[in-house]
């Protein structure tokens, strides 16, 4: 299997020797999921974090009214998991479902613990990855408070132009925290005012 995407990604943060690369790839597992399959299900304990090689997933929370709230989309060269469930080994709050056929690399709990002890540098890698994710998450909280839905939509389009094209509009509405009807209204307003 092709090692390139993961190695290129990792090399942005740390440098591995050839031997370390071999250790890494001896422990991880490739997996293929079909469109609509679940990688994580709300209520199950999530036992892996996954690096996406191709495809697209959504992570969402289903509330008591049965409404879906999308936390994040993930595509190639990014990660997906319910990290909260993974790190504390408690039932997942979220679902992760494939929006396209998706190929990924799984790091299970055991895999990761072994890797951390054999290649301590990976501790740094994952610290840096989570740092960035945390910063993005905090930015999103503030945006949700201080910007209107229209402004948030424009930022979303700018930030994730690829995702805009690949997923249905009603899911983008869910990610933005608005209804699909209101997103429709925003889009028609944007078309008129230019």
Partner DNA sequence: AAATGATGTTAAACTAGATTAACATTTATT
Partner DNA sequence: AATAAATGTTAATCTAGTTTAACATCATTT
Binding site for its own copies (CB under 8 A): 61, 63, 67, 69, 71-72, 83-84, 87, 93, 116, 120, 123-124, 126-128, 130-135, 137-142, 144-146, 177
Q: Please tell me whether residue 183 binds DNA under the rule CB under 7 A.
A: yes
Q: Please tell me whether residue 180 binds DNA under the rule CB under 7 A.
A: yes
Residues 147-176, mask of contacts with DNA (x by CB under 7 A): -xxx-----------------xxxx-----
Q: Please tell me whether residue 84 binds DNA under the rule CB under 7 A.
A: no
Q: Please tell me whether residue 34 binds DNA under the rule CB under 7 A.
A: no
CB 59 within 8 A of CB 167: no
d(CA 72, CA 95): 11
Residue from 37, 62, 63 nearest 50 by CA = 37
Q: Please tell me whether residue 110 binds DNA under the rule CB under 7 A.
A: no
Q: Which is nearer to its own copies, 146 or 192 (CB)?
A: 146
d(CA 96, CA 58): 6
SS3 8: helix
- How many alpha carbons lie under 13 Å from residue 21 in its C-beta half-sphere? 15
């Amino acid at each position: 299997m092709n090692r390139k995407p993961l190695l290129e990604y990792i090399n942005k943060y740390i440098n591995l020797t050839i031997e370390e690369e071999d250790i890494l790839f001896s422990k991880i597992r490739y997996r293929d999921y079909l469109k609509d399959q679940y990688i994580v299900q709300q209520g199950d304990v999530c036992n892996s974090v996954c690096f996406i090689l191709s495809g697209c997933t959504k992570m969402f929370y289903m509330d008591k009214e049965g409404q879906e709230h999308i936390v994040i989309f993930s595509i190639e060269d990014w990660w997906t998991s319910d990290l909260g469930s993974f790190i504390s080994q408690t039932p997942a709050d979220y679902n992760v479902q494939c929006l396209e056929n998706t190929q990924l690399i799984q790091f299970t709990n055991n895999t990761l613990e072994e890797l951390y002890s054999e290649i301590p540098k990976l501790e740094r890698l994952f610290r840096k990855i989570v740092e960035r994710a945390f910063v993005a998450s905090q930015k999103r909280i503030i945006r949700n408070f201080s910007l209107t839905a229209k402004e948030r939509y424009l930022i979303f389009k700018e930030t994730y132009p690829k995702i805009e094209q690949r997923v249905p509009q009603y899911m983008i509405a869910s990610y933005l925290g608005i209804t699909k009807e209101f997103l429709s209204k925003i889009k028609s307003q944007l078309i008129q005012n230019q």
